[in-house]
Structure 1
Amino acid sequence: MRRHLTFACEGAELAGTLDAAAGATGLLILSGGNEIRSGAHRGMAMLAARVAAAGYPVFRFDRRGIGDSEGENSGFESSAPDIAAAIATFRAAAPQVARMAAFGNCDAASALLLHQPLALDALILANPWTYETAESEAEGEEEAPDLPPASAIRARYMARLKDPKSLLRLLKGEVDLGKLLRGLSALGKGSAAASPDSLAARLDAAMAALACPAHILLATGDRTAQAFVDRCNPGALPVTRVDSSSHSFAGEDAIWLERQILDLLARLPSR
């Protein structure tokens, strides 16, 4: 059963949706960027329904200034009160929930890391956002800049150099040599060290200090995920990858995402 409700956060009325189930382990879903709680192409709404059908109650919400929620949209770095209020509302609406995991994609994953400690038992972090505001302001916060990170460029050209078909095209003169040389020049360039106050450095510090289990999910062809790999060090956190360029896990990737989440929820230890 799906139920819509409202709750307060620092004087604003926020909108949330509960997909009810009888289980004692719940899932809180945060939407990334400026997406409403249903997600891109209703992906998060459909994910919530399937997870709830498996026995896990699911709560989604619009943070302040997004969708049906009041207030000013100050971005993911100011969303700690929204997340805390959503957790409290979820627990009140589903009092049988004894353990709670949270799932976030893109800057929602980064928000879950930056705003620790929260009253959560586990984090599921997909394609965490590492771009600074200046890098993405032309595209909008939820979109990665057009240029892939250096690691992705290097990986792409190394794969081409190992591909006999690509080498044959080169010998036949079917390859743009100027473009190839520009790509090859990236092979010898390392990633620039992040400044201590950069988003990437703060995410590294947050991952190192986590008091609850966390699992990272990456779409290997997604530029946001590639940038995370290029800029951050998850340390001992487990990472699972899917060979996809879908940032929002669309199409068949939605089933992969559902399976990953259900597996992680089933392995969440009792208190």
Structure 2
Amino acid sequence: MTINEQALWLHGEGFDMLGIVSLPPASTPAQRTGVVIVVGGAQYRAGSHRQFVQLARFLAEGGFPVLRFDLPGMGDSPGELPSFEDTAPHIAAAIDGFQRQHPGVERVVLWGLCDGASASLLYVDATHDPRIAGLALLNPWVRSEASLARARVKHYYKQRLMEPDFWQKLLNGRIGMMALKSLGESVRRMSKTESTKQSFQMRMGQTWRSFDKPIVLLLSEYDLTAQEFVEHANINPAWAGWSKKMDFFQYTLERADHTCSTPQSSRRCEELTLYHLQTRI
């Protein structure tokens, strides 16, 4: 099947962004639901190892129009890169431009990686946009000093202390002593009380609990950011009951790293996204 790709400019108040729309083959029945990929980190619209290109084309082949775009200051979009916490106007402009060029798209699923996933939740919090039909989130970013320390202690140091070579190095006065000092520092940071102000993590949690549309959560098995998200959500009051909400679907991507860099993990991520677009949203 042949998909069609089109470039378009997305205009907001004081900024312009370049976007690429991947359209389903002409023989495919038109879908009212489109997908907007919210890029995470210092990435442009292609993504690491062309992750977002492959995802957009896979979903388009499955019948769903997909927009990916460069935030200001990235790729081919002029301007200064905004913080992920301040991208609500940019996501809104992307959806507006997408619908203007393709008016058959009546509702949108936001798909985000890392702080792109976080930005998607923050967009819903800031706008309550009725066009958002669901969220697909890969390894959401909730990092703080305390949350990183918790994830390190549970998922790195716990395993390290069980390895015989660690104790051998410790007895020989080599790397093990440094690791023990690092473990002690992580435990100290775990005990820090996080700010009670309305942090971006709190806003994400509150939006998660109140959002009444489907959420698909994809977590990479070998990713500290994914492990950190689960640790944070499990203990933070703003996220209470997060894993028991209605229309929530969680998957672990086996042997996957942060950006699903292997062909197997990348395809699994794509297939799960398409499955939920076809059956749940």
Higher mean Cα deviation, 185-194 or 79-88?
Answer: 185-194
One-letter amino acid of the counterpart of residue 200, structure 2: L
Task: State how 1:117-132 maps to structure 2 within 5 Å.
Answer: 117-118=128-129, 119-131=131-143
Aligned 8 A contact 2:11 2:97 in 1 = no
Query: 2:212 matched to which residue of 1?
Result: 211
The TM-score, its normalising length taken from structure 2, stands at: 0.78
Uncovered stretches (5+) of structure 1, i.e. residues with no partner? 136-146
Shift of 1:260: 1.4
Q: What CA distance in whole angstroms lies between the structure 2 residues aligned with 1:247 and 1:169?
A: 26
Q: What CA distance in whole angstroms lies between the structure 1 residues aligned with 2:44 and 2:188?
A: 41
Shift of 1:207: 1.4
Q: What CA distance in whole angstroms lies between the structure 2 residues aligned with 1:33 and 1:180?
A: 29
Q: What CA distance in whole angstroms lies between the structure 1 residues aligned with 2:191 and 2:219?
A: 19
Shift of 1:106: 0.8
Query: 2:72 matched to which residue of 1?
Result: 64
One-letter amino acid of the counterpart of residue 215, structure 1: V
Aligned 8 A contact 2:5 2:21 in 1 = yes
One-letter amino acid of the counterpart of residue 232, structure 1: A
Query: 2:83 matched to which residue of 1?
Result: 75
Give the counterpart of 1:254 among 242, 257, 266: 266
In structure 2, do the counterparts of structure 1 residues 97 and 149 end up closer, same or farther at CA, with 3 Å as the change threshold? same
One-letter amino acid of the counterpart of residue 15, structure 2: A
Aligned 8 A contact 2:256 2:265 in 1 = no
One-letter amino acid of the counterpart of residue 106, structure 2: A
In structure 2, do the counterparts of structure 1 residues 190 and 33 end up closer, same or farther at CA, with 3 Å as the change threshold? closer
Structure 1 SS opposite 2:58: helix
Shift of 1:58: 0.6
Shift of 1:261: 0.6
Q: What CA distance in whole angstroms lies between the structure 1 residues aligned with 2:96 and 2:212?
A: 19
In structure 2, do the counterparts of structure 1 residues 100 and 159 end up closer, same or farther at CA, with 3 Å as the change threshold? same
Shift of 1:150: 2.3
Query: 1:142 matched to which residue of 2?
Result: none
Higher mean Cα deviation, 45-54 or 236-245?
Answer: 236-245
Q: What CA distance in whole angstroms lies between the structure 1 residues aligned with 2:189 and 2:43?
A: 35
CA RMSD of aligned residues (A): 2.9
Matched, 1:10 2:36: no
Structure 1 SS opposite 2:251: strand
Shift of 1:26: 1.4
Uncovered stretches (5+) of structure 2, i.e. residues with no partner? 25-29
Higher mean Cα deviation, 198-207 or 167-176?
Answer: 167-176
The TM-score, its normalising length taken from structure 1, stands at: 0.80
Q: What CA distance in whole angstroms lies between the structure 1 residues aligned with 2:249 and 2:56?
A: 23
Structure 1 SS opposite 2:132: coil
Deviations 1:82-118 (A, max 9, x none): 1011111212222222332110001111111112123
Q: What CA distance in whole angstroms lies between the structure 1 residues aligned with 2:143 and 2:165?
A: 37
One-letter amino acid of the counterpart of residue 247, structure 1: H
Give the counterpart of 2:96 among 77, 85, 88: 88
* Length, aligned pairs only: 253
Query: 2:27 matched to which residue of 1?
Result: none
One-letter amino acid of the counterpart of residue 252, structure 2: R
Q: What CA distance in whole angstroms lies between the structure 1 residues aligned with 2:249 and 2:152?
A: 21
Query: 1:140 matched to which residue of 2?
Result: none
Query: 1:143 matched to which residue of 2?
Result: none
Shift of 1:192: 4.3
In structure 2, do the counterparts of structure 1 residues 262 and 149 end up closer, same or farther at CA, with 3 Å as the change threshold? farther
Q: What CA distance in whole angstroms lies between the structure 1 residues aligned with 2:56 and 2:11?
A: 22
In structure 2, do the counterparts of structure 1 residues 15 and 241 end up closer, same or farther at CA, with 3 Å as the change threshold? same
Aligned 8 A contact 1:107 1:129 in 2 = yes
Q: What CA distance in whole angstroms lies between the structure 2 residues aligned with 1:254 and 1:231?
A: 25
Task: State how 1:1-271 maps to structure 2 within 5 Å.
Answer: 1-21=4-24, 22-116=30-124, 117-118=128-129, 119-131=131-143, 149-159=149-159, 166=163, 170=167, 178=177, 181-182=180-181, 192-196=192-196, 197-233=198-234, 234=239, 235=242, 236=245, 237-244=248-255, 246-251=257-262, 252-269=264-281
